[in-house]
């Protein structure tokens, strides 16, 4: 779900509206597929009296894997990392919303980190250091973190030149 436009200030526009990289869903998706494959194998291979209890156990594993995948997907779908012309917004949550807004003029330092595998898939972490009591915010598994860092710097420069 994209960031709601009604939460923007007057004259504020969205520059980037991101979710965490799709890779965060791969582990739980793979676990779901493997548990389904196990249930199919159990159904076709296990004979006789052992079939039903073993099949039930494998179906319980499928339900647990499905629950984990749904929980991860909902967390992914409700996490927004939004850069506007005035601030950086990080929001997450379904029932309990957690949000942090950092005005661009309060950002002191931006650092991104990409491990080798993250470079291959185009993901990484962006750490924002800002003036204030909370200090640092790390956005994990951001798609194209160098692009995000560059876009933040561009908006910071535009805000400085417009004042």
Residues β-bridged to residue 102: 88
Q: 94 and 66 in one domain?
A: no
CA 35 to chain centre: 24
Q: Tens digits of per-residue pLDDT, 133-156?
A: 777 888 999 999 999 999 999 999
For residue 105, give its domain range.
Answer: 5-20+80-162
Look at residues 17, 1, 20, 16 and name the one whose alpha carbon lies nearest to residue 122. 20
Q: How many CB atoms lie within 10 A of CB 69?
A: 19
Q: 9 and 86 in one domain?
A: yes
What pLDDT score does 89 carry? 92
**Which portions of the chain are predicted below pLDDT 70?**
1, 163
Q: 157 and 132 in one domain?
A: yes
Look at residues 103, 85, 102, 100 and name the one whose alpha carbon lies nearest to residue 12. 85
Q: 95 and 154 in one domain?
A: yes
Q: 66 and 33 in one domain?
A: yes
Q: 38 and 97 in one domain?
A: no
What pLDDT score does 137 carry? 86
Q: 109 and 44 in one domain?
A: no
What pLDDT score does 58 carry? 95
Structural domain count of the chain? 2
What pLDDT score does 1 carry? 66
């Amino acid at each position: 779900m994209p960031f709601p436009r009604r939460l923007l200030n007057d004259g504020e526009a969205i520059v980037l509206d991101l979710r965490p990289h799709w890779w965060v869903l791969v582990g739980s998706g793979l676990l779901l597929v493997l548990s389904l494959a196990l249930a199919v194998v159990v159904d076709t291979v296990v004979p006789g009296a052992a079939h039903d209890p073993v099949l039930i156990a494998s179906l319980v594993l499928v339900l647990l894997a499905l629950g984990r995948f749904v929980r991860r997907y909902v967390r992914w779908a409700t996490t927004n990392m939004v850069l506007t012309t005035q601030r950086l917004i990080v929001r997450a949550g379904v029932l309990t919303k957690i949000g942090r807004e950092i005005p661009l003029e309060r950002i002191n330092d931006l650092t991104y980190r990409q491990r080798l595998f993250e470079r291959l898939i185009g993901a990484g972490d962006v750490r924002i250091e800002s003036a204030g009591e909370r200090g640092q915010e790390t956005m994990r598994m951001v798609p194209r973190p160098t692009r995000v860092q560059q876009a933040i710097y561009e908006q910071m420069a535009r805000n400085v030149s417009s004042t």
